Structure 1
Amino acid sequence: MALFGLIRRRTHERAGFALYTAAVTAARDPALFGDEAVPDTLEGRFDLVALHAALLVRRLRRDPDPRGAALAQAVFDAMFADMDLNLREMGVGDMSIGKRVRSMWEAFHGRALAYEAALEAGDVAALEQALARNVWGGDAPEGAAAGLAAHAVALDARLAAQPFAGFVAGRVDFGGVAA
């Protein structure tokens, strides 16, 4: 009986991984990358995954269903389990994995807070500034931050319109909303 307790999945773990996987797939949309868009680098890819995951977590946390916070946590846990795995696959040593994952967590957290504040205030200019600062180090190509901000606003609305039951089942529609 005790053995089953060790291998039991946490609540929403499967749905969290499915939702996170969908966020990663949406973040890899080729239309989001390029010379006049997000740089196709490790950092650029992280920033797009962080943006899509932050929007998803925001949607889940805001739902009146009491399972929303737990499901948001499951998405977050899936994201950082994936980051840990990716670092290991890239050859980062075991001794520095924890420090690198913590650094990624801090970067994600700062970005999520900035995006949340701008979206909550309906301040697209602040969202553009946050994206320019995080994705391009403040030096975004002409119109790129505005395009990514428009993408984020549209995606935020798209996620808000989806029923919570789909999220619990591990389904989310990020659509083809590209900048």
Structure 2
Amino acid sequence: MLLLQRLFGKKEADPRDALRPLYAQIIATARQPHWFVEGKVADTIEGRFEMVATILSLVLLQLEKDVEQAGATALLTELFVEDMDPQLREVGIGDMIVGKHIGRLVSALGGRLGAYRDALDAPDRAAAFEAALVRNLYAGVGPGAAALAHVRDTALAFADRLASTEADAILAGGIDG
């Protein structure tokens, strides 16, 4: 009976659909040219991934402060995975190992979450966040003082705007990147 219901019954709405505007805004924010021009983030597949992971991490970190949003953070992470799967296939990763690569990307996102969480909670937030950016966003090689300051200050200002925004507004895509 369940098979027949799935085939012919009403299709239930995907709970991730409500978060698609937010995810689209995260991607739009991460793709803004200033990150790559003034901030000197590498305009490569890896650099673009790191920028998405940085912005997504800041949003997830804000949402995790509200325990009622645990389900939303999980769904937002699922949207990230859903987005990365075809991206990997587009660059030639085959079906047999795409899952392994997705696992690595999710693990990398988890690492960024930990690094940025620790930095945002540090006594000298700006210095700690800058160090986390160099390790993660810039793969250990600083881009120069002006570029690093641009990304640090812009990302921290974004995190501060998120902190002053209600969770429901964030979930509705109300982030101003």
TM-score with structure 2 length normalisation?
Answer: 0.87
How high is the sequence identity, in percent, across the aligned residues? Answer: 35
* 2:162 aligned with 1:159: yes
- Offset of 1:35 from its aligned partner? 7.3
Counterpart Cα distance in 1 of 2:54 and 2:73: 14
2:13 corresponds to 1:9? yes
Instruction: Provide the C-alpha distance between the structure 2 equivalents of 1:115 and 1:24, rounded to a whole number of angstroms.
Output: 18
CA RMSD of aligned residues (A): 2.1
**Which of structures 1 and 2 has the bigger CA Rg?**
2
One of 55, 70, 76 as aligned partner of 1:52: 55
| TM, length-normalised to structure 1 | 0.86
Q: Which amino acid aligns with 2:137?
A: V
Equivalent position amino acid for 1:171 in 2:
G
The answer for unaligned runs of 5 or more in structure 1 is: none
Counterpart mapping for 1:30-179 below 5 A: 30-34=33-37, 37-63=40-66, 66=68, 68-122=69-123, 123-143=125-145, 144-168=147-171, 170-175=172-177
Inter-partner Cα distance in structure 2 for 1:159 and 1:7 = 34
The 2-side partners of 1:99 and 1:131 are apart by: 25
Query: 5+ residue gaps in structure 2?
Result: none
Partners of 1:101 and 1:108 in 2: CA distance: 10
Alpha-carbon offset, residue 89 of structure 1:
2.4
Count of matched residue positions in the alignment of Structure 1 and Structure 2: 171
Q: Distance in 1 between matches of 2:137 and 2:168?
A: 33
Once residues 33 and 53 of structure 1 are traced to their aligned partners in structure 2, the CA distance between those partners, rounded to angstroms, is 17
Partner amino acid, structure 2, of 1:128? E
Could you say what secondary structure the match of 1:95 adopts? helix
